[in-house]
Structure formats: structure tokens, C-alpha cells
Amino acid sequence: MNTIAARPPRLNHHRSAEGDQLFSAWAKATAASAFFLLFAGGMVTSTGSGLAVPDWPLSFGGINPPMVGGIFYEHGHRLIAGVVSLMTLGLLLLSRRNAVPSAARRAAHLAAGGILIQASLGGLTVLLKLPPSVSISHACLGQAVFCTLFAAAVLSAPGSTFGPGYSRVFRFATLGFAAAYLQLALGALVKHTGQGLRWHILWASAVVVLAAMAVFTARRSRAPSLSFPSLLLGIAVPLQIALGLFALRVRVDSAMLMGFREAAVWRTLHLSGGALTLAAFLLLALRSRRTAEAA
């Protein structure tokens, strides 16, 4: 019997039972908002607007500065971050409901702690005048918070049984997630210091190989629950490569017939593509632990 295609045993599983529809919906909305926050933060860096507002937590001593030039990106980013923080706090409160699965509850707690640290790092980047170490940490933690919120949404899905799952798929998806996260960290290094571009490009090959293995093993398993995650990963990685090549072209060729703002958008789309790739690896890893639908 093909051990990959065979249905895995349901041992030591955790069942989400009916779940909590309100928590699940709120977690999805919060994760989507965090994804948009990543794009907004990327636009701050891509447009060089990190110090357009020189004070923190207020903006020019108030909360309603004129939204012109770089202030639009920097203060807009702060406003969106405030909304995501409040939504994450709401998710934390909703996690106290009895029907919320324990794994989703833990993810909500981690996200709430991460968002507090992230806000502090965001303030330090301004107060310390954009030190690379703090800026890179801020960028990387932002991706981690998004992934934690995304995990809370996935783990809160009602009617699933979690257990040993498809171990080979889980292994490749987990390794791919780790490789993609390191790739994003290298990208942050390039963006904030201008160094490490060669390593960022070379490491992309490791992400591609692990993605190919994860998609291949997921498809061979013929598990319905792995069909969409593997398809998403199979789309996200080539898309991210294409965005990366275009971002490199924009970076190298300053004579391109493209405005400054349009070039910033394309560079930021590459960052968003990285977050999508992370989410795809994470979804496949978590779904590979979903061994059956609840009766």
C-alpha cells in the first residue's frame, strides 16, 4: 500500500467540535487586516517615509496631521496598526469563549503579545531614527504576528479533527515555512541596509525546492483537505518569484518608465507576496494535521 496515499490513523487527535463561529469570523477579519497592515508598512519603507512623522506615539503632537506626502504613508500606517491592535484585543477577549479550540486560543494569546511588542518596535524605529536592527526586527515580527493571526483563523475552523495527519506533507510544509521566513528576513536586510541581495536571491532556490516537494507530496496524498492549500502554494511561489524579479528590475534600472509611487507599489507587492507564501506554507502544514471532518 502506498503509505503517502493511505489515510492516516486518527490517534491522539484534537477535535474542534462545533467551534465558535464568531471567533472564527473575527480571526479571519483580523488576519486580513494584518495582511493589509504589512502592505501599508511596506509602502512606508518603499517610499522612504519612515521619518515623515518624527514623533511617536503622537504625530506632530496630535492625532490628525495633514495627510500629505510621506505623512500619508507613515501616519496612515499608524492608524491601520491601531485598528489591527484593537481587533487583536477583541480576538483575545473572544478566545475566552468556551467553544474556541485550545490551539486557536493559544494562537490568539501569542498574537496579542506579539502586537504589543510590534507596537513598541514601531515606536523605537521612529524615536531612534530608523536603526537597521530595530527596523528589521519590526519587519520580521510583523510577518510573525500575521502568521499567528492566520493560524488562529485556520485552527478555529469548525468541524475538523486534528491528529498525526500526513507527516511527510507536514515536514516539507514546515521546512518550507521556515525557509520562507528566513527569506523574508533576508529581504528585510536588503531593504533596510542595501546588503545581502545575493544571499536573498540564492536562498530563494531553497524555498522553491521545498515548495515543490510540499506540493508534490500533498497532491500524491489525494487528501481533499490538502487540495486548496497545495494549489495556493503552487500559485504563490511562482507569483512571488515573478514579483521579485520585477522588484529587482525596478531596483537596478532607475531609468524605467515608471513613476516613483508606482515603483514603490511594485516593491511592496513583492513583500506582500512573501506574506502570501508564508500563509500558504502555514495553511498546508496545519491542514496536513487535519485528518478528518467531524461527523
DSSP-assigned states of every residue in the chain: --TTTSPPP--S-EE-TT--HHHHHHHHHHHHHHHHHHHHHHHHHHTT-TTSS-SSSSBTTBS-----THHHHHHHHHHHHHHHHHHHHHHHHHTTSTTS-HHHHHHHHHHHHHHHHHHHHHHHHHHTT--HHHHHHHHHHHHHHHHHHHHHHHHT-SSEEESS--HHHHHHHHHHHHHHHHHHHHHHHHHHHS--HHHHHHHHHHHHHHHHHHHHHHHHHT-HHHHHHHHHHHHHHHHHHHHHHHHHHHHH-TTSS--HHHHHHHHHHHHHHHHHHHHHHHHHHHHTTEEEE--
pLDDT at 262: 81
Domain boundary among 101, 129, 158: 158
**CA separation for the pair 113, 93 (Å, rounded):** 13
pLDDT of residue 261: 79
Instruction: Please check whether residue 90 lies inside any domain of the structure.
Output: yes
* 82-88-90 Cα angle (round to 5): 105
In a domain, 5, yes or no: no
Q: Are residues 25 and 138 in the same domain?
A: yes
- Whether 200 is covered by a domain: the verdict is yes
137 domain-assigned:
yes
Q: Is residue 9 part of a domain?
A: no
Statement to judge: residues 111 and 151 lie in one domain: yes
The verdict on 173 and 219 lying in the same domain is: yes
What dihedral angle (degrees, nearest 10) is formed by the CA atoms of 197, 229, 162, 207? -20
Mean pLDDT value across residues 125-154? 95
| Angstrom distance (rounded) from CA 292 to CA 271 | 34
Least confident of 1-10, 169-178, 227-236, 277-286: 1-10
Q: Is residue 128 part of a domain?
A: yes
Is the pLDDT reported for residue 213 higher than 60?
Answer: yes
Q: Which of 158, 183, 215 is the last residue of a domain?
A: 158
- Domain stops at, among 131, 158, 185: 158
Backbone phi, psi, residue 59, to 5°: -120, 110
**pLDDT for position 257:** 53
Taking residues 33-53, report their average pLDDT.
Answer: 94
Residue 153 covered by a domain: yes
Does 2 score more than 50 pLDDT? no
Residue 285 in domain? yes
- C-beta separation of 217 from 169 below 8 A: yes
Model confidence at 295: pLDDT above 70: no
What's the grid cell of residue 134? Answer: 530595530
Lookup result for grid cell 515603483: 263
The mean of the pLDDT values for the chain is 87
- Report the distance separating Cα 284 and Cα 221, nearest Å: 12
Give the pLDDT mean for 2-13: 43
pLDDT band at 164 (very low <50, low <70, confident <90, very high): low
Span 255-266, pLDDT tens digits = 555 677 788 888
User: Lowest mean pLDDT: which of 8-17, 137-146, 277-286?
Assistant: 8-17
The position carrying cell 486580513 is: 32
Q: How many structural domains compose the chain?
A: 2
Cβ pair 115, 88 in contact under 8 A = yes
- Same structural domain, 69 and 92: yes
Query: Which range of residues forms the domain containing residue 177?
Result: 164-295
45 and 130 share one domain: yes
